[in-house]
Amino acid sequence: MKTVSNSIITMTELVLPQHTNQLGNLLGGQLMHWIDICAALSSSKHAGRICVTASVDNIDFHHPIKLGDVVTIVASVNRVFNSSMEVGVSVCAENHTKGNKRHTNSAYLTFVGLNSEGKPVKSEPIIPESDSEKKRYEEALIRREHRLSMRNK
């Protein structure tokens, strides 16, 4: 059995001019790209196979990320269902010259593991160990039920 801690992926990115808009803020699409990559690596690490994005619930933008900030993206599998799994992502930005670090974004994505023919396959269950992992594990079921109810409307 695999634990949530075994699925953790941490990425670090430096916000450069090509990543920003006219205000010097990180483009939302660039951040979504980084989030998707980090979450894909987490799901693939857990499943031991290629995993693809099935859905993105939401990405909450709490604070702007500025040119020159160092962005740390942490992803881990919250829960495995049949062939799908929910991955939670947390984003922090830090300005090294000012020394301030802030949580800027949260996101939930669903990934599906694929076999060599590109067909969805069942993934091994995940074991939450810490209290926060157990809470995210339980909340993932609620989010999944909401996702499925929205799909059937």
Complete domains list, the chain, with CATH: 2-151 (3.10.129.10)
Q: In whole angstroms, give the CA distance from residue 34 to residue 36.
A: 5
Residue 60's pLDDT band, with cuts at 50, 70 and 90, is confident
Entry pTM = 0.94
Question: Nearest 5°: phi and psi at 147?
Answer: -55, -45
Q: Which amino acid is at 82?
A: N
143-153 tens-digit pLDDT: 999 888 887 77
- Around Cβ 33, how many Cβ atoms within 10 Å? 13
Residue-wise pLDDT tens digits, 99-141: 899 999 999 999 999 999 999 999 999 999 999 999 999 999 9
